Amino acid sequence: MSESIDTHELDVLVIGAGGAGLSAAISAAERDVSVGVVCKSLLGKAHTVMAEGGIAAALGNVAPADDWKSHFLDTMKGGWGLNDPRMAEIHAKESPERVRTLQEWGALFDRTDDGKISQRPFGGHRYDRLAHVGDRTGLEMIRTLQDKTVAEGIDVYQECTTTHLLLDGDQVAGALGVWRDDGSPILFRSKAVILATGGLGQCYRITSNSWEYTADGHAMALRAGAALVDMAFVQFHPTGMVWPKSVQGTLVTEGVRGEGGILLNSEDERFMFDYVPDAYEGSVAPTVEEADRWVAGDRDARPPPELLTRDVVARAILSEVSAGRGSPHGGVFLDIANQRSTEYIQEKLPAMVHQFRELAEIDITEDPMEVFPTCHYMMGGIRVDPETQETAVPGLYASGEVAGGLHGANRLGGNSLSDLLVFGNRAGHAAGDRAEGMDTFPPIDDEDVTNKLNSLEAPFEREDGTDPYALHAELQTVMEEYVGIMRDDDRLTTGIERLEDLAERAANTATDGSRAYNPGWEKCFAVRHLVEAGLAIAHAARERTESRGAHTRIDYPEPDEELERVEFAISLVGGEIDIAREAVPAPREELREMLQADTGEEETQ
Ligand SMILES: Cc1cc2nc3c(=O)[nH]c(=O)nc-3n(C[C@H](O)[C@H](O)[C@H](O)COP(=O)(O)OP(=O)(O)OC[C@H]3O[C@@H](n4cnc5c(N)ncnc54)[C@H](O)[C@@H]3O)c2cc1C
């Protein structure tokens, strides 16, 4: 059977052409192996292109005191200590080198007056740390990585959706998918596969994520035998657009607040000063005057509370709106117009000026924006080995947003782009090493391929199947109502029941028409992945009987010390979800001492 399919042999197959996938492919190609990258849309369209604010790396160009230790500590603090400490260490140590390499490959960063890569402040980072290109950093990153990928002669399979991983026993043997342009199947035989498929924002209705982010990597990994960790932690970015409805959820970069934007309620109050959490008291809570000094460039002052971590700001906005102090379209106001000159805003935030002018007919150099939290990022993901990014499935690697561990309970802005570069690079090297060490391709099981192809074709044959669009809309409503920002046991239990019902219906979807560019057909596989991811989120959230980082339980409003170093790992056992309560790896001695000293300092300040 597999012989009649369009078949490609690639030592290393990378699924996903965002920052993580392209970094991984370039690094794998440094070994003596053949490498190919598959992506659902066109090369250059991945999510990474939308990243605005910047790449976090302790280059120390603007704040010479910055170093990997400070970046490590900020990442751990932002993640409420749940981060895998080794991943946080590697990330902090290797980010500067990866940014410099990107520059060597041609990335043109904004500059300081003395010609170094400029760095801007962002929430939760104690120093100005984000290397950036205006508010179009992701575009420059993808342009550079894409040029390098093409220059290295790496094969790219565009508009090609992978749907299944193929196994030989318990090791990976390749992947199966369909060409989007004619719907014909494609089979990859590979010695190593790297999943770099990005996030799962399409689980929620209000999201900054595009149509491509349907948890494909999470679902494929789970079915292949890998585990998902930290799935309770979905990041709702505090500032998504609320109006017009057609663009609800579109991101308003944290760069606006980094550049001095302030949040106001309908009573013109700068409400964030009322929401500084106890845990931060003394270290972050400044006076308005002090915050103003910080905005004016005095880095000895403390930053404004608008730059508290995203979980804190998102909850504060939600509380203001719930208390009836919202803006006309149900958000709050974000004002930069009265804080910075028109020229400054146009220079530093050109994409935001354009976005609001084109989408909302608002001139942000004159008027405030209306904003409300939007589902933005998945902290959890596939469990990987910190050194190699290998999953529990031999030969299967994961990097970028689809992988878990680095960010713990909450990701700091800018730490995703650096994550992609650092761990994409590591995954590429490890996968390349594995493939180099293998003489032959693992065998493919023809019967398995036939069964998987039949399951792909099934939606065309069902007469009374479920409409995948209606199912997707229902899923988004269920996730928003029962597994949203504010959670409790009743809601989560109802949510799980509803999701289990959706899962049954998702296995029975139907479509019609041709196989060429048929979004209804694609939706049939995507919605299954999304429901599976939704179930993983809901189960992990129900088990986590505390509030920590991005996970807020109304019935358990405080963090629970017992859960401080606990993660819930989700896997499939006999097709059913299994949840294991496990310890987060302990930090090595030097890191532990650094963490203790950092916390101690805060208590005495
Ligand atoms: C609007 C916005 C602004 C952001 N700004 C920042 C920022 O300033 N700084 C920061 O650090 N982070 C930012 N982020 C987060 C960051 O951009 C993402 O987390 C990151 O780009 C994810 O990169 P990735 O390589 O993991 O995946 P992506 O860039 O999401 O790429 C995933 C790739 O996988 C492919 N794919 C998915 N499924 C399949 C499949 N089944 N078959 C084949 N291919 C598949 C897709 O086609 C795509 O090529 C932002 C996110 C958004 C949405």
Indicate which atom in ligand 1 lies nearest the CA of residue 255: 8
Rounded distance between C-alpha atoms, residue 272 and residue 306, angstroms:
6
State the CATH architecture for 241-373.
Alpha-Beta Complex (3.90)
Decide yes or no: CATH 1.10.238.10 for domain 446-583: no
Do residues 56 and 412 make contact, with C-beta atoms less than 8 angstroms apart?
yes
Mutate to test the pocket of ligand 1, among 163, 197, 247, 309 (most ligand atoms within 8 A of CB): 197
The model's confidence at residue 4, banded by pLDDT at 50, 70 and 90, is: confident
And the tokens for 37? 């990258």
State which amino acid sits at residue 4: S
CA of 162 to the centre of ligand 1 (A): 16
Beta bridge partners of 334: 263, 369
**Within a 10 A sphere around the Cβ of 352, how many other Cβ atoms?**
26
Report the alpha-carbon distance of residue 579 to residue 180 in Å, rounded. Answer: 35
Q: How does DSSP classify residue 124? A: T
With a 6 Å cutoff on the Cβ, whether 262 touches ligand 1 is no
The per-residue pLDDT for range 520-564, each reduced to its tens digit, is: 999 999 999 999 999 999 999 999 999 999 999 999 999 999 999
Distance CA 349, CA 260 (A): 11
Closest-CA residue, ligand 1 atom 14, reads 51
Q: What is the mean pLDDT of the chain?
A: 94
Q: Is 38 in the pocket of ligand 1 (CB under 6 A)?
A: yes
- Of 257, 255, 265, 259, the closest CA to residue 317 belongs to 265
In this model, does residue 156 exceed pLDDT 80? yes
- pLDDT, position 3: 54
* Other C-beta atoms lying within 10 Å of the C-beta of residue 274: 12
Question: What is the model's pLDDT at position 281?
Answer: 47
Query: CATH 3.90.700.10 occupies which residues in the chain?
Result: 241-373
Per-residue pLDDT tens digits for 474-532:
999 999 999 999 999 999 999 999 999 999 999 999 999 999 999 999 999 999 999 99
* Strand ranges, E, within 456-498: 486-487
User: For residue 478, what pLDDT is reported?
Assistant: 98
pLDDT band at 124 (very low <50, low <70, confident <90, very high): confident
Residue 200 Cα to ligand 1 midpoint, Å, equals 10
pLDDT number for residue 190: 98
Label residue 372 by pLDDT band (50, 70, 90): very high
**CA gap 422, 426 in Å, rounded:** 6
Strand partners, 581: 568
Nearest residue to 110 (alpha-carbon basis) of 90, 136, 89: 136
Record the tokens describing residue 40, joined without a space: 């659902």
pLDDT in tens, 18-74: 999 999 999 999 999 999 999 999 999 999 999 988 999 999 999 999 999 999 999
Asked if 39 contacts 157 with a C-beta cutoff of 8 angstroms, the reply is yes
Q: How confident is the model at residue 284 (pLDDT cuts 50, 70, 90)?
A: low
User: Of all residues in the chain, what percent carry a pLDDT higher than 90?
Assistant: 87
Cβ–ligand 1 distance for 19 under 6 Å, the answer yes
13 lines ligand 1 (CB under 6 A): no
Q: What is the pLDDT of residues 265-275, one digit of tens each?
A: 999 999 999 99
CB 420 less than 6 A from any atom of ligand 1 = yes
Name beta bridge partners: 371: 241, 332
Tell me the whole-structure pTM to 2 decimals: 0.93
* Average pLDDT over every residue of 400-419: 96
Query: What pLDDT is recorded for position 286?
Result: 79
Question: 110 is written with which tokens?
Answer: 């904004």
How many angstroms separate the Cα of 42 from the Cα of each of 5, 9, 49, 146, 472? Answer: 22, 22, 12, 11, 24
Residue 279: per-residue pLDDT: 54
Radius of gyration over alpha carbons of the chain, in Å?
A: 23
Query: pLDDT at position 283, please?
Result: 56
User: What pLDDT, on the 0 to 100 scale, is given for residue 568?
Assistant: 97
Q: What percent of the chain has pLDDT over 70?
A: 97
Residues β-bridged to residue 564: none
Structure confidence at residue 604 (pLDDT): 29
What ligand 1 atom has the least distance to the C-alpha of 162?
42
Closest C-alpha to 84, from 436, 585, 598: 585
Q: Which atom from ligand 1 is nearest to the alpha carbon of 163?
A: 41
Antiparallel, parallel or unpaired: β 381-382 and 228-229: antiparallel
Taking the CA of residue 53 as reference, the ligand 1 atom at the shortest distance is 8
Rounded to the nearest angstrom, the distance between the alpha carbon of 349 and the centre of ligand 1 is 21
Testing ligand 1's pocket by substitution, the residue of 42, 47, 523 carrying the most ligand atoms inside 8 A of its CB is 47
Dist. CA 142 → ligand 1 center (Å): 10
**Confidence at 602, pLDDT banded by 50, 70, 90:** very low
**Which of the 8 DSSP states describes residue 466?**
B
Pocket of ligand 1 contains residue 157 by CB under 6 Å: no
Q: Which two tokens stand for residue 500?
A: 């289990």
Query: Which residues are known catalytic residues?
Result: 237, 257
**Has residue 295 got a pLDDT over 90?**
no
Looking at ligand 1, which atom is closest to the CA of residue 214? 38
Q: Whose CA is nearest to atom 35 of ligand 1?
A: 16
Q: Which helix (H) or strand (E) holds 188?
A: strand 185-195
CATH 1.20.58.100 location in the chain:
446-583
Dihedral, 43, 44, 48, 51 alpha carbons, nearest 10: -170
At 336, the amino acid letter reads: I
CA atoms of 275 and 312, how far apart (whole Å): 8
What would the mean pLDDT of 215-243 be, rounded to a whole number?
97
Kindly give the number of the ligand 1 atom that is closest to the alpha carbon of 20: 25
Helices 85-104 and 68-78, interaxial angle, to 10°? Answer: 130
The token duo for 477 is 């409503």
Residue 36 CB–ligand 1 contact under 6 Å: no
Task: Return the residue whose CA atom lies nearest to atom 31 of ligand 1.
Answer: 18
- Write out pLDDT tens, residues 323-336: 999 999 999 999 99
